[in-house]
Amino acid sequence: MIDLRFSEGELDHHRDHITDFVRDRVDAAGAEGAVLGLSGGIDSTLTAYLAVDALGAENVHGLVLPATVSSGENMSDAERVAQNLEISYDVIEIEPIVDSLLAAYPEAEGDREAVGNARARVRAVLNYLVANHEERLVLGTGNRSEAAVGYFTKYGDGAVDCHPIGNLYKAQVRQLAHHVGVPEDLVTKTPTAELWDDQTDEDEMGVSYETLDSILATHVDGPLSVAATARLLEVDAETVEKIRGMYERSEHKRQVPPAPEPLD
């Protein structure tokens, strides 16, 4: 695997680059601050820390949005982040809303992926309900690694006003989080989207974040061929091709919905 971590001298530069970005986006929109979902995971935690750095704690509002599949530990961690940062936050149970969707369309009940994505989209609706009411922007918490392979819900956690950490590979997220003072247990905890029971990111993607980051950096974002990437990283060519396929199939998630080309 390759080392994608920043040098010590680069960390403050990247932190400042992101906080300037958040501040500029909020100012350009004439907004009063930012709203973001807090999951207890490293991505939302780092985003919250950087948002407070950019805007001040009084201008950041966190939402903890548990479902029946959410672990008590993660929700407790989410509240701990808000309390440590001294930001306002609300806890809103989303399962009654999901249940109402399934009552309206019971055919989807039991479809794990459809219901999991519905949970993500309910969270997006609540983020925007609060943001619109308070005249704030919604901050995304997605990183570069997950965006590249489409590991997010279209119009769910992908439905935001900006992605502050969207240019960071997962290894860089962890490194920057450690640098800005995120508690070590949150930096190293196992990532999960918690869209269904016992789900973990790496199990679902079928590859570790270390391997994913390295393939993305050398092949998808970089110049190496499948064969050269496999040799360099000492992985099977099939693994490299799998990641390439995930990137290509998820292209629609990273683009504005298309329209036909104008007629002449």
In angstroms, rounded to a whole number, what is the distance separating the alpha carbons of residues 11 and 3? 15
Q: What is the dihedral of CA 79, 80, 82, 84, to 10 degrees?
A: 160
Residues making up the annotated binding site for ATP are 37-44, 141, 170, 192
Instruction: Count other Cβ atoms within 10 Å, centred on residue 104.
Output: 8
Per the structure, the complete domain to which residue 96 belongs is given by 8-201
243 belongs to a structural domain: no
**Domains of the chain: total:** 1
| Cβ neighbours of residue 222 closer than 8 Å, sequence gap 6 or more | none
With a cut of 90, say whether residue 258 has pLDDT above it: no
pLDDT for position 91: 97
111 belongs to a structural domain: yes
Place of tokens 């990111």: 201
Rg (CA), the chain: 19
60 belongs to a structural domain: yes
Q: How far is CA 96 from the centre of its chain?
A: 24
In angstroms, rounded to a whole number, what is the distance separating the alpha carbons of residues 45 and 38? 7
114 belongs to a structural domain: yes
Degrees to nearest 5, angle at CA 253 with 250 and 259:
115
Q: What is the pLDDT of residues 168-227, one digit of tens each?
A: 999 999 999 999 999 999 998 877 766 666 667 677 788 899 999 999 999 999 999 999
216 belongs to a structural domain: no
Q: What is the DSSP string of 82-138?
A: HHHHT-EEEE---HHHHHHHHHH-GGGTT-HHHHHHHHHHHHHHHHHHHHHHHT-EE
Q: What is the mean pLDDT of residues 240-254?
A: 96
In angstroms, rounded to a whole number, what is the distance separating the alpha carbons of residues 159 and 114? 17
Active-site residue list: 43, 146
pLDDT for position 194: 62
In angstroms, rounded to a whole number, what is the distance separating the alpha carbons of residues 262 and 142? 33
21 belongs to a structural domain: yes
The CATH number covering residue 29 comes to: 3.40.50.620
* Helix (H), strand (E) at residue 45: helix 42-55
pLDDT for position 264: 75
Judged by DSSP in three states, 63 sits in strand
169 belongs to a structural domain: yes
* Helix (H), strand (E) at residue 18: helix 8-29
For the entire predicted model, the pTM comes to 0.93
